[in-house]
Amino acid sequence: MIIPYERLLSFCTDCFMAYGFSQPDALRVTDVLLTADLFGIESHGIQRLARYHDEIRRGMVVVGAQPAVVRETPVSAIIDGHQAMGQLVGSFAMNLAIDKARQTGIGLVVVRNSNHYGIAGYYTRMACEQDLIGVSMTNTEAIMVPTFGRRAMLGTDPIAVAMPADPIPFLFDAATTVVPRGKLEVMRKKGQPLPLGWALDASGQVSADAGAVLEQIIGQLGGGILPLGGVGETLGGHKGYGLALICELFTGVLAGGPTANHLSSVAASADLSHSFWAIDYGMFDDKKAIRSRFSAYLEELRCSDKAEGQNRIYTHGEKEIENQKARLRDGIPVLDKTWQEMESIASELGLYDAGLFARL
């Protein structure tokens, strides 16, 4: 099913206002969600609405809560998210990092006591749009099994980095697992088997069953997603595991929140931690010169020799910007299962009668 962007924007904003968020806050949360859908990262888009609905209903997300600075220096801050919606905490924190970068050259802001904040790349793009380098990380409930282990002890633990470039900015946003949890959720909704090398079952064997792996993770029965680099050390699985540890360090450990293995998606509070960096690259040289040589390098990469059978080399952000353009024009694909969830949420919130919604 393909839905025009404007309809999803209006529907999503109405939902968040119905929960009690102010219009600017509802628009911000909606923008983070729909940016994921526009970028083609459906795993983090409107298919997550049911999950946010549940978290707001349960009081895990506190509507109207305001994040607050606990301690700061000219280059740093630590923020208590006060269980506010993660997208609001994240925007507040990245804006503070951007302010600090404008003053000193670098802002590094860590956050505790937050909720799921959507795609990490949303916040790095905020810095990028201000002509700064942006970095963001978040921990999540445990889903990654460390090398030689069989129990999830680290999160999907994404690392995002953005840097301005012409004509297409560099927008890197990647889980340190082989794939993020959301991709397993989508495979489960589609009823498709997982590629081998994504996930382990409770005994530590490679599994193709998305539903079983997700249930085992939620039930803390063992198993989980593999680190980038896969099983063991031969192809570098210990590197993905180490990158996740770096993410846990710069989120939960520095911010004073729990690490992934002490988080639970069914607990009273999500207790997630994030970090946000903004770097004014003008500290090092004329900004135009730096931006121009980075842009030239990205172009060299895109134009370099292709592997047999391939006709294109991408730089990071290219697919996202192209998807965004196409989906703003043609609409956003929504899975039937997600559509049913939206219908049920609309009904519960008294936003639409069923007949009206059916014609959306």
Which is nearer to a copy of itself, 305 or 358 (by Cβ)? 305
* Residue 206 makes contact with a copy of itself by CB under 8 A: no
* Interface with a copy of itself (CB under 8 A), residue from 97, 106, 143, 186: 106
191 binds a copy of itself (CB under 8 A): no
With contact defined as beta carbons under 8 Å apart, do 227 and 240 qualify?
A: yes
- Measured CA distances, 306 to 267, 301, 309, 324 (Å): 48, 10, 8, 25
Say if residues 258 and 267 touch (Cβ distance below 8 Å): no
Binding range to a copy of itself, per CB under 8 A, among 3-11, 37-45, 88-96, 282-290: 282-290
Q: How many angstroms separate the CA atoms of 209 and 246, rounded?
A: 29
Q: Distance between CA atoms of 296 and 265, rounded to whole angstroms?
A: 44
Of 301 and 356, the one with the shorter C-beta distance to a copy of itself is 301
**How far apart (Å, rounded) are the C-alpha atoms in residues 60 and 201?**
29
- Please identify, using beta-carbon distances, which residue of 228 and 270 lies nearer to a copy of itself: 228
Residues 18-57 that bind a copy of itself (CB under 8 A): none
Q: How far is the CB of 196 from a copy of itself (least distance, A)?
A: 10
Cross-strand pairs, 76: 73, 108
Helix axes 86-104, 23-39, angle to 10 degrees: 90
Size of the site for a copy of itself (CB under 8 A): 80
CB 33 within 8 A of CB 42: no
315 binds a copy of itself (CB under 8 A): yes
Site for a copy of itself in 83-102 (CB under 8 A): none
169 binds a copy of itself (CB under 8 A): no
**Which positions from 246 through 265 interact with a copy of itself, judged by CB under 8 A?**
246, 248-249, 253-256, 259, 261
Q: Smallest gap, in angstroms, from Cβ of residue 327 to a copy of itself?
A: 20
DSSP 249: I
For a copy of itself, the closer CB: 66 or 103: 103
